[in-house]
């Protein structure tokens, strides 16, 4: 399109301003997917000429698609702009759970390629397997597509230090220099986020919290944690240690020993391994031979011991949510992890406990739902995170818009609480 | 200063841009009080010429004071700019407690004039007394000073609806049209904020949370509530109902009846009237004849019943704070209300309970202190709030900078959760 190209270059505004316009429009379409020209102008607050210029630029670069849509009230055709899903890709990595996941997602969060690696119980996971996982999900891309890979998003458990070294119990890792390893092997910027945060990112982008600005995500599987969104922003705390609800006590006097060394933590009562442990202790079964799904199945068949273990766990989770709802006044609470499997058994107990414990005024609007994003939730969250951070970095927006994208900048950052706060 | 004035008018930029520069500089000085020219340029990100222009404008209007300060390293003099405390005034109103307070504060939050009105127990408070209170604190101002009154900030208990009607149990009010009454009598814009929020505003402006971006404020007196700051912004929740920690349950099975109709709420165990009630129930004393200070004094003298009542209240508050700290990872927790009086008795119990209940990692950095802002905390918070909202409204910044300020705009707004979020 030589004409359009010429027009674009003749009217080219100063790079700094133009970058800001592009970011505003891309950020809006990241969230809303598809919008008319008027909606874009109104929502971004750009003037019509700037918006037109930026839209033309993005169309020419293949980042947007344009279609016509008839307004049902005025019967006039209007232009609708949609993000071109395949204009860019993210590598998403989920290091939590007993099965590590690697994915390649497009700009709409659809997973285009996937690879999984099982953790062997008690065996440390070799860090080079992460590099291998990324290789697996990108190896079938041709050079054009490879040039469109924009960034890597990593959902991590445990603690990441300022140098990008990760310590995580489930991986058997102590200060493994993951960032350095990825930086050495791949040209893409890498963004890290804690697992609880990637879940709420995913729900906010593609799930139940899409139109919410105040949401909570409670994840209960190997551990228990909470991701929190207020006014559309994550609550990370002063050091990024927020959401530690798994180590609060809601059943006083409970003697259940937690991984953290304390007794009676929510996690020691309601996490999946502890549900198995309690059932095994009371029935004399060997915990190593039981799965969460077995205990759940027995509860469904009316096994009184299994039911009472779930009852205790559900009451503890309900008490925790009651406190979080009273404190934070969310619109929605989303339950994830193994609570998704146990929805039929746990949700009624959780709701009952919440109603028992909470002032009715605090419950007037809040919804409690189970996540529908499935096992890919953290992959999608990691991609969402990478997309968001990319939109905040002018040099990465430039890269996204560059016609040839074989060279990649060497930019790495771990979005710590400071970076998040500066958004 | 005719020369300076001429210079200012010759270089006058477009009003919109200039207003933004003024707001940036005033917002910075609101928070930091006094800064050098270089610090202002660096922190606002303005270019040196814009900053100079705006500083000259503000100096000419009498809003800033300039002084010289010798840098102790380079031994060079540098210009220091300070907010002129008396360049503007706020009317601050605190409708909580058994003594309603009215104050006139300057731009630094110093209270220049004050008026108090006692509530008669069980008697509704006449709304016109609020008008009278404002009259009392502004009646001694001359016309120039009166022209410098910028806004009214109101710290309110209870519920304020969208029309500005207030319902508050302690005032005996149901849907009293307070905003309309103030609007009819006074020319100033009126800003409302819940009492928990004004407390944390005050601490963030003038108190223990001055340099903090993540802070909690627990107030325990007639009721118990929590104000929360994350990343420098208040957490208000989806409907502005956040911080309801007083109605969470931390002592399971507790039968104490709360004002909200539920049993076992934190407020029913640890608020001042309930501390008196528990002491009276166990000693057979008449609660009407006891004050909080009496029970406290008896505890100090070693009265076992008084001590055990404080022990129970302190444990409940400690459990509540443990959960809030684990969830929100604050830098500081500030205790206010009657906890200030009871610091010697309560703080050790609260700390002990927090240590018992919380994962050590969550406690690594957090400080727990008692508020030092005294009884004026909500007045100062209301003034802080009025100042902040004023700085966000271009027309009010214009008014602050106007040389003659006898006419006032008719602008009223209640900063609900939406308005707060849009900051």
Low-confidence stretches of chain A (pLDDT < 70) are 1-17, 403-423
Burial letters A196-214, b for 16+ CB under 10 A, else e: bbbbbbbbbbbbbbeebbb
Are B252 and A249 in contact (CB < 8 Å)? no
Could you give the CA distance from residue A36 to residue A64 in angstroms, rounded to a whole number?
12
Q: Are strands A89-94 and A149-156 parallel, antiparallel or unpaired?
A: parallel
Which of chain B's residues have a Cβ under 8 Å away from the Cβ of A421?
213, 231-232
Contact state of A214 with B238 under an 8 Å Cβ cutoff:
yes
From chain A, pick out residues whose CB is under 8 angstroms from the CB of B421: 213, 231-232
For residue A329, give the nearest of B238, B262, B358 by CB distance. B238
| Dihedrals phi, psi of A318, to nearest 5 degrees | -60, -40
Degrees, nearest 5: CA angle B361-B367-B371: 155
pLDDT at residue B126 is higher than 70:
yes
The phi-psi region of residue A302 (left if phi > 0; otherwise alpha if psi is between -120 and 50; otherwise beta) is left
Partners of A263 in beta bridges: A257
Query: What are the angstrom distances between the C-alpha of B54 and each of A273, A358, B1, B49, B304?
Result: 62, 51, 16, 9, 64
User: Are A105 and A112 spatial neighbours (Cβ–Cβ below 8 Å)?
Assistant: yes
Which of B47, B213, B248 best probes binding to A when mutated, by most A CB atoms within 10 angstroms? Answer: B248
pLDDT band (50, 70, 90) for residue B3 = very low
For residue A26, the tally of other CB atoms under 10 A from its CB is 22
- Which residues touch B146 (CB under 8 Å, ≥6 apart)? B138
A65 forms beta bridges with A82
Q: Which residues of A are less than 8 Å from B252 in CB distance?
A: 251-252
Above 90 in pLDDT, residue B47? Answer: no
CA distance A366 to chain B (A): 9
| pLDDT tens digits along B166-207 | 988 888 888 999 999 998 899 999 999 998 899 999 999 999
Residues of chain B with C-beta less than 8 angstroms from the C-beta of A323: 245, 248, 323
Contact B79, B66 (CB under 8 A): yes
Instruction: Indicate the average pLDDT of chain B.
Output: 86
Query: Across the strands, what pairs with B160?
Result: B166
- Check residue A5 and give its pLDDT: 35
Structure tokens at B46: 């303005």
Instruction: Inspect the interface and report whether the beta carbons of A238 and B358 lie closer than 8 Å.
Output: no
pLDDT of residue A403: 60
Q: What is the dihedral of CA B21, B25, B27, B28, to 10 degrees?
A: 140
pLDDT at residue A6 in the model: 36
* Interface probe, candidates B226, B233, B242, B264, chain A, greatest A C-beta count within 10 A: B242
Residues A64/A34, Cβ–Cβ less than 8 Å: no
Contacts with B357 from chain A: Cβ below 8 Å: 248-249
Q: Is the pLDDT of residue B353 over 50?
A: yes
A127 class by beta-carbon count within 10 Å (0-12 exposed, 13-18 middle, 19+ buried)? middle
Q: What pLDDT score was predicted for residue A11?
A: 46
- CB-CB under 8 Å, B248 with A326: yes
Picking from A197, A215, A247 by the largest number of B CB atoms within 10 A of its own CB, the best residue to mutate is A247
Q: What is the pLDDT of residue A311?
A: 97
Based on the number of CB atoms within 10 Å of its own CB, is B107 exposed (0-12), middle (13-18) or buried (19 or more)?
buried
A247 interaction partners in chain B (CB closer than 8 Å): 326, 358-359, 362
Report the Cα A404 to chain-centroid distance in Å.
29
Which tokens belong to B94?
Answer: 């605190």
Distance CA A278, CA A268 (A): 10
Q: How far is B59 from chain A (nearest CA, A)?
A: 30
Q: Over the stretch B152-168, which tens digit does the pLDDT of each residue have? A: 999 998 888 888 899 88
A-chain CB neighbours of B259 within 8 Å are none
Whether the per-residue pLDDT at B60 is higher than 50: the answer is yes
Q: Are A274 and A268 in contact (CB under 8 A)?
A: yes
- CB distance A213–B322 less than 8 Å? no
Which residues make beta-bridge pairs with B192?
Answer: B154
Q: How many CB pairs under 8 A join A and B?
A: 133
Choose among B214, B249, B262: nearest Cβ to A238: B214
β-bridge pairing B34-36 and A367-370: unpaired
Residue predicted with more confidence, B358 or A1: B358
* Helix (H) and strand (E) counts in chain A: 16, 16
User: pLDDT value at position B131?
Assistant: 92
CB contact under 8 A, A245 and B323: yes
In B, which residues are within 8 Å of A324 by CB distance?
327
Nearest to B30 by CA among B377, B387, B376: B387
* Strand A89-94 relative to strand A99-106, pairing: antiparallel
Contacts of B249 in chain A (CB under 8 A): 319, 322, 357
| Minimal CA separation from A234 to chain B, in Å | 10
Using a CB-CB cut-off of 8 Å, the residues of chain B touching A235 are 230, 235, 328
Domains and CATH numbers, chain B: 2-83 (1.10.10.10), 87-199+376-422 (3.30.420.40), 210-372 (3.30.420.40)
When CB atoms are compared, the residue of A248, A329, A331 closest to B323 is A248
| Of A156, A63, A106, residue with least CA distance to A380 | A106
Contact A119, A140 (CB under 8 A): no
Q: Which of B212, B265, B326 sits opposite A244 (nearest CB)?
A: B326
Question: Residue B165, CB half-sphere, CA atoms under 13 Å: how many?
Answer: 7
User: Rounded distance, CA A317 to CA A353, Å?
Assistant: 8
Separation in Å, CA A17 to CA A21, A40, A54, A315, B23: 6, 17, 10, 54, 22
Q: In whole angstroms, how far apart are CA B52 and each of B37, B56, B164, B348, B417?
A: 8, 6, 41, 52, 36
Structure ipTM: 0.85
How much helix, strand and coil, in percent to the nearest 5, is found in chain B? 45, 20, 30
Pick from B311, B377, B365, B306: nearest CA to B340? B377
Q: Do B329 and A232 touch (CB under 8 A)?
A: no
Query: Sorting pLDDT into bands at 50, 70 and 90, what band is B403?
Result: low
Q: What CA–CA distances, in Å, run from B147 to A350, B93, B141, B408?
A: 57, 19, 9, 8
In a 3-state reduction of DSSP, which class is residue A173?
A: strand
CB A369 within 8 A of CB A332: yes
């Amino acid at each position: 399109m030589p004409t359009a190209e010429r027009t674009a270059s003749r009217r080219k505004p100063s790079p700094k301003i133009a970058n800001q316009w592009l970011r505003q429009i891309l950020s809006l379409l990241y969230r809303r997917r598809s919008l008319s020209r008027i909606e874009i102008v109104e929502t971004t607050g750009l003037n019509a000429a700037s918006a037109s210029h930026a839209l033309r630029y993005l169309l020419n670069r293949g980042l947007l698609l344009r279609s016509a849509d008839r307004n049902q009230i005025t019967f006039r055709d209007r232009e609708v702009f949609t993000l071109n899903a395949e204009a860019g890709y993210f590598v998403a990595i989920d290091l939590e759970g007993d099965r590590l996941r690697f994915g390649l997602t497009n700009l709409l969060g659809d997973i285009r390629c996937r690879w999984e690696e099982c953790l062997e119980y008690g065996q440390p996971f070799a860090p080079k397997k992460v590099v291998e996982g990324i290789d697996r999900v990108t190896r079938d891309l041709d050079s054009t597509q490879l040039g469109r890979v924009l960034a890597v998003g990593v959902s991590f458990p445990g603690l990441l230090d300022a140098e990008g070294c990760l310590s995580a119990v489930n991986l058997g890792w102590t200060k493994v220099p993951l960032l350095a390893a990825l930086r050495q092997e791949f040209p893409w910027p890498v963004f890290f986020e804690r697992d609880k945060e990637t879940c709420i990112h995913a729900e906010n982008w593609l799930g139940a919290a899409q139109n919410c600005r105040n949401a909570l995500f409670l994840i209960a599987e190997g551990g228990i944690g909470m991701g929190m969104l207020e006014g559309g922003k994550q609550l990370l705390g002063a050091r990024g240690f927020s959401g530690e609800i798994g180590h609060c006590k809601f059943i006083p006097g409970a003697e259940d020993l937690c991984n953290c060394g304390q007794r009676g933590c929510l996690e020691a009562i309601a996490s999946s391994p502890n549900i198995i442990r309690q059932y095994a202790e009371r029935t004399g079964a060997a915990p190593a031979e039981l799965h969460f799904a077995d205990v759940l199945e027995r509860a469904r068949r009316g096994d009184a011991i299994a039911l009472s273990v779930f009852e205790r766990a559900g009451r503890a989770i309900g008490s925790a949510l009651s406190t979080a709802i009273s404190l934070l006044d969310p619109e929605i609470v989303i339950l994830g992890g193994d609570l998704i499997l146990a929805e039929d058994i746990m949700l009624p107990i959780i709701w009952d406990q919440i109603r028992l414990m909470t002032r009715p005024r605090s419950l007037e609007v809040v919804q409690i739902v189970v996540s529908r994003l499935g096992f890919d939730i953290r992959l999608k969250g990691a991609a969402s995170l990478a997309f968001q951070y990319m939109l905040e970095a002018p040099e990465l927006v430039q890269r996204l818009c560059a016609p040839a994208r074989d060279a990649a900048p060497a930019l790495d950052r771990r979005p710590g609480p400071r970076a998040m706060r500066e958004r």
